[in-house]
C-alpha cells in the first residue's frame, strides 16, 4: 500500500482534450501484442482499449510513459494506470520525423496527416502528392515548430521524438489539450527493432493486425536475405562513416548501421567497438586502420569523387577510393531533395540489407536494382 501511495504522486501529464490522467494500480492483465525485436515499447490489448508503454523515449531516459488508447465508447475501469489518454482510432495526426511517414503509408493512413515540420524533407511520392494539393501544413522546423498553426489544425494526436525530456514546444502543445506521444524508434539498435515500430502506429488506428502482418513480411524478407548472404565465398572488409570538421565519425560495432554490414556477411573494420552513436576519430587514426578496406559505405554527403577530392586529396590513400568502391545513399533523393534513406530505411531494413549484399556479393543478386546505395559518381 505504501508503494501505491507513492505512485499516486507521479502525475506529470494532462490527458487528451483536457481530461486529467489517472495514475492508479490495475490488477487487469491484457493480451500482450507480440513484439519480437523492438526494446522500446510494449502494448497490452483490453476490451475497447489498449495500454502502450514507451520504455526508451530518448537515450538514457530515466522514465517511461504509459499511454491509454481508448475507443470512444470503451468502459475504462477506474483502476487503470496511464499517463496520457488518446481516443482511437485516430482521424487527424501530426508527426515530426520523416521516419514516421512510411508507417502511415503502409497502413493506408497517410490521409490522416495534417502537418509536418519541414515538408521538403519528405520524399515519398504518395505524401508529396498530398502536400502539393495543400493538404499537409508546413509547421516550420522541429526546433522551432509553429505551435499556433499546429494547434489550429486541432489534431487528435502529435507523434514526437526527443533528445531529452526538456521540450518546451511539446509542453505548449499539451497545455492546449492536444496529446503528444513520444516515439523512440530511433533509439533502437537493431534493424528489425526499428522496423517493428510500425506496430506502435498500428495501435493508434486499430490496425494492429495489419501492422503485425506487414512487419512479418519485412522480417521474413530480411532474414531470407541474411541467409542468402551466408552463401558468399568471402567477407570483404568495410569502412563506414565520414569526416565532419576535424573528426571522422564511424558507427560503433553494435550500432544499427554496423548490424547491416554484419548481416550482409562483410567484415566491418570497427566491429569490436561498443557504444551509442558514433566514435569520433582522427583522420590519421582511420587511415592507419582502414586504408586497405575493400569498400567504403555511407561516406556522408559526398555524391561524387570530385567532391571527395576537393575536400581532401588524402582520401586517395584509401584502397576503396582507388578502386572506386565507395557507395553512398546521398544520391537517392526525393523531388524536393530529401534523402530517401533517412525516411524509408528504418521501416524497410530488408531493402537496405539487399542493397549491401548486392554491393559486397554481386553474384548473389545479379539483377538487383538498388533502392538506397549507389556507387559514388
**Which of 56, 26, 32, 123 lies closest to 335 in space, CA to CA?**
123
Output the pTM of the full model: 0.90
231-375: CATH superfamily = Nitrogenase molybdenum iron protein domain (3.40.50.1980)
Determine the pLDDT at residue 166: 78
Q: In what order do the strands lie in the sheet with 295-297?
A: 267-268, 237-240, 295-297, 326-328, 374-375
**pLDDT for residue 27 is more than 90:** no
- Kindly state the average pLDDT of the residues 232-237: 96
For residues 356 and 362, is the Cβ–Cβ distance under 8 A?
Answer: no
**C-alpha dihedral over 121, 263, 353, 190, to 10 degrees?**
-30
- Kindly state the average pLDDT of the residues 299-305: 91
**Which of 242, 356, 248 lies closest to 307 in space, CA to CA?**
242
**Helix (H/G/I), strand (E/B), else coil: 244:** strand
Determine the pLDDT at residue 1: 36
**pLDDT for residue 259 is more than 60:** yes
**Which of 23, 86, 78 lies closest to 49 in space, CA to CA?**
86
Cα distance between residue 205 and residue 106, in whole Å: 12
- Look over the chain and give the mean of its residue pLDDT values, rounded to a whole number: 91
Cα distance between residue 179 and residue 156, in whole Å: 7
Cell of 86: 488518446
**pLDDT for residue 23 is more than 90:** no
Determine the pLDDT at residue 62: 84
Question: What's the distance, CA 80 to chain centroid?
Answer: 30
Model confidence over 327-337: pLDDT tens digits?
A: 999 999 999 99
Give me the CATH topology for the region 2-217: Rossmann fold (3.40.50)
Q: Where does the pLDDT of residue 246 fall: very low under 50, low under 70, confident under 90, or very high at 90 and above?
A: confident
Q: How many CA atoms lie within 13 A of 63 on its CB side?
A: 10
Cα distance between residue 313 and residue 287, in whole Å: 13
What residue spans of 8-71 are helical by DSSP H?
Answer: none
Question: Percentage of residues in the chain with pLDDT exceeding 70?
Answer: 92
More confident residue, 298 or 1: 298
**pLDDT for residue 87 is more than 50:** yes
For residues 77 and 319, is the Cβ–Cβ distance under 8 A?
Answer: no
Instruction: Enumerate the CATH 3.40.50.1980 domain ranges in the chain, comma separated.
Output: 2-217, 231-375
Determine the pLDDT at residue 244: 85
Determine the pLDDT at residue 3: 39
Cell of 62: 530515466
Model confidence over 194-212: pLDDT tens digits?
A: 999 999 999 999 999 999 9
**pLDDT for residue 257 is more than 90:** yes
Q: Where does the pLDDT of residue 15 fall: very low under 50, low under 70, confident under 90, or very high at 90 and above?
A: very low
Model confidence over 47-64: pLDDT tens digits?
A: 999 999 999 888 888 889
Question: How far apart are the two ends of the chain, measured CA to CA in Å?
Answer: 67
Determine the pLDDT at residue 28: 56
- Kindly state the average pLDDT of the residues 61-85: 93
For residues 153 and 115, is the Cβ–Cβ distance under 8 A?
Answer: yes
Determine the pLDDT at residue 14: 35
**pLDDT for residue 8 is more than 70:** no
Q: What share of the chain is helix, strand, coil (3-state, %, to 5)?
A: 35, 20, 45
Amino acid at each position: 500500500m505504501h508503494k501505491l501511495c507513492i505512485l499516486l504522486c507521479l502525475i506529470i501529464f494532462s490527458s487528451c482534450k483536457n481530461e486529467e490522467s489517472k495514475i492508479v494500480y490495475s490488477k487487469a492483465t491484457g493480451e500482450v501484442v507480440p513484439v519480437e525485436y523492438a526494446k522500446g515499447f510494449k502494448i497490452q490489448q483490453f476490451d475497447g482499449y489498449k495500454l502502450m508503454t514507451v520504455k526508451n523515449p530518448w537515450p538514457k531516459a530515466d522514465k517511461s510513459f504509459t499511454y491509454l488508447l481508448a475507443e470512444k465508447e470503451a468502459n475504462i475501469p477506474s483502476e487503470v494506470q496511464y499517463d496520457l489518454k488518446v481516443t482511437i482510432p485516430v482521424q487527424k495526426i501530426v508527426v515530426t520525423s520523416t521516419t514516421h511517414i512510411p508507417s502511415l503509408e503502409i497502413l493506408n493512413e497517410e490521409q490522416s496527416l495534417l502537418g509536418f515540420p519541414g515538408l521538403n524533407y519528405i520524399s515519398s511520392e504518395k505524401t508529396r502528392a498530398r502536400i502539393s494539393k495543400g493538404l499537409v501544413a508546413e509547421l516550420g522546423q522541429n526546433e522551432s515548430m509553429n505551435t499556433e498553426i499546429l494547434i489550429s489544425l486541432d489534431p487528435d494526436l502529435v507523434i514526437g521524438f526527443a533528445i531529452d525530456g526538456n521540450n518546451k514546444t511539446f509542453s505548449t502543445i499539451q497545455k492546449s489539450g492536444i496529446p503528444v506521444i513520444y516515439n523512440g524508434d530511433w533509439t533502437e539498435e537493431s534493424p528489425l527493432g526499428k522496423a517493428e515500430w510500425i506496430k506502435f502506429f498500428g495501435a493508434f488506428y486499430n490496425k494492429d493486425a495489419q501492422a503485425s502482418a506487414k512487419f512479418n513480411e519485412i522480417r521474413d524478407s530480411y532474414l531470407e536475405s541474411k541467409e542468402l548472404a551466408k552463401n558468399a565465398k568471402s567477407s570483404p572488409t568495410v569502412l563506414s562513416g565520414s569526416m565532419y570538421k576535424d573528426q571522422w565519425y564511424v558507427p560503433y560495432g553494435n550500432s544499427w548501421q554496423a548490424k547491416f554490414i554484419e548481416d550482409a556477411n562483410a567484415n566491418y573494420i570497427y566491429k569490436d567497438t561498443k557504444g551509442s552513436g558514433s566514435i569520433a576519430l582522427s583522420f590519421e587514426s582511420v587511415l592507419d586502420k582502414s586504408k586497405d578496406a575493400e569498400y567504403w559505405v555511407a561516406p556522408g554527403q559526398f555524391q561524387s569523387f570530385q567532391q571527395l577530392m576537393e575536400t581532401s586529396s588524402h582520401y586517395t590513400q584509401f584502397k576503396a577510393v582507388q578502386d572506386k568502391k565507395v557507395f553512398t545513399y546521398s544520391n537517392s533523393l526525393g523531388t524536393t531533395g530529401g534523402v530517401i534513406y533517412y525516411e524509408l530505411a528504418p521501416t524497410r531494413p530488408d531493402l537496405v540489407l539487399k542493397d549491401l549484399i548486392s554491393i559486397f556479393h554481386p553474384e548473389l543478386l545479379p539483377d538487383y536494382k538498388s533502392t538506397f546505395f549507389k556507387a559514388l559518381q
